[in-house]
Amino acid sequence: MTIKVTKLHSHFAARVEGIDIATGVSDDDFNALRTAFEEYSVIVLPSQDLDDERQMEFSRRYGPLEMMAPHLANDSNPQHISRMHNEEPDGSLIPPDDDRMIYQSANMIWHTDSSFKPVPSLCSMLHARILPPEGGETEFACLRAAYDALDQGMKDFLDDKIAIHAFANTRRMVGGKLNDWQKKNLPPVRQAIIRSNPVNGRKALYTGGHAGEIEGMSKEDGAALLKELMGHITQDEFVYAHKWNDGDLTIWDNRAVLHRGRPWDGTKYKRILHRTTVAGDGPTA
Ligand code: OGA
Ligand code: MN
């Protein structure tokens, strides 16, 4: 098979056709896909027929999978699948004001997956299983274009800066606290603010909802600068909104984009997507 790459946004994101994971992806096609991933940061593979096993197997070609932390909305088994969903075991809808939905609403804050871990994720793969007829898009913001657009003074200032990322930051934003497991296992971590892609050298402005402070700055000044950077990153020019189709598998580079889920009417519609998360290969700072 030969793959066809169609750009989805002027700065990043591409749809890749000609890949059918269910029937097998040759090494050549996989390498072409991997090259497209390094270049475009967000890849949409339409019409993929996947169950959890197949999704995990394909994801592992990118590297080892992260384990999902135990939490109240994570009822998946095995532990390498993270379910974004509003479905009770009996098939009915989980009400939007249920604690499990409030827990998951943190996905609607701009973030990059696992930046609260000492080694943050390389990429995530999210597969659409059941979609609402409207709403529930996933938005992506290009951290490379955002970096490129900074003035030179800010680039120089940020060059060696380290941000402190903590899972507690995004929990707090949705009015939640850490459970005992999270308290013990997810202490704040240091992450470089500027990350270079190892293949093409492109620099990315690495921050997101988990980032709360900047080393060497006062709490207030660091938080204010992070807020300013988030406003810069998430302006329309740098954002691609993905409107899901049945069977889409979206692969995004957690080193180079932020993402967030968008609301939908959870009193009427189901939304179920399954995520695998590929681990990164080392600390950023
Ligand atoms: C995720 C996530 C957003 C969404 O799966 O990591 O943040 O649109 N999802 O469901
Ligand atoms: Mn996420």
Whole-angstrom CA distances from 84 to 6, 42, 175, 236, 274 are 27, 19, 19, 25, 6
Nearest-atom number in ligand 1 for the CA of 107 is: 7
The pLDDT assigned to 284 comes to 97
* The pLDDT of residue 94 is above 80: yes
Task: Answer yes or no: is 141 within a domain.
Answer: yes
**Is the residue at 185 inside a domain?**
yes
Query: 112 alpha carbon to ligand 2 midpoint, in Å?
Result: 6
Q: Is the pLDDT at 225 greater than 80, yes or no?
A: yes
Regarding the beta carbon of 113 and ligand 1, being less than 6 Å apart is answered: yes
pLDDT band at 79 (very low <50, low <70, confident <90, very high): confident
Residue 163 lies in a domain: yes
Q: Residue 78's pLDDT band (boundaries 50, 70, 90)?
A: low
258 CA to middle of ligand 2, Å? 8
248 within ligand 1 shell (Cβ under 6 A):
no
Ligand 1 near 13 CB (within 6 A): no
Ligand 1 nearest-atom number relative to CA 136:
8
Higher pLDDT, 66 or 77: 66
Pocket perturbation via mutation, ligand 1, pick of 74, 82, 84, 254 by most ligand atoms within 8 A of CB: 84
Mean residue pLDDT of the chain comes to 96
Question: Considering its fold, how many domains does the chain have in total?
Answer: 1
Q: Which domain holds residue 172?
A: 4-279
Q: Does residue 77 surpass a pLDDT of 70?
A: no
pTM: 0.97
Chain-centroid distance of CA 127 in Å reads 13
CA 39/CA 143 separation, integer angstroms: 13
Whether 285 is covered by a domain: the verdict is: no
Ligand 2 centre to CA of 152 (Å) is: 30
Q: Is residue 243 part of a domain?
A: yes
Sheet with 239-242: strands ordered across: 239-242, 138-142, 257-261
Angle at 209 between CA 176 and CA 246, to 5 degrees: 90
- Cα dist from 279 to 13, 66, 121, whole Å: 21, 5, 4
Average pLDDT over residues 135-162: 98
161 belongs to a structural domain: yes
For range 175-187, the mean pLDDT: 90
**Phi and psi dihedrals of 28, rounded to 5?**
-60, -50
CATH classification at residue 166: 3.60.130.10
Q: Please report which confidence band the pLDDT of residue 85 belongs to, taking 50, 70 and 90 as the band edges.
A: very high
Is position 53 within any domain? yes
Minimum mean pLDDT among 30-34, 70-74, 86-90, 140-144: which range?
A: 70-74
Ligand 1 atom at minimal distance to the Cα of residue 271 = 10
Q: In whole angstroms, what is the distance from residue 20 CA to residue 4 CA?
A: 12
Average pLDDT over residues 256-269: 98
Strand extents, DSSP E, 25-87? 42-45, 82-84
In a domain, 44, yes or no: yes
Between 196 and 180, whose confidence is greater? 196
Determine if residue 247 is left, alpha or beta; phi over 0 gives left, psi from -120 to 50 gives alpha, anything else beta: left
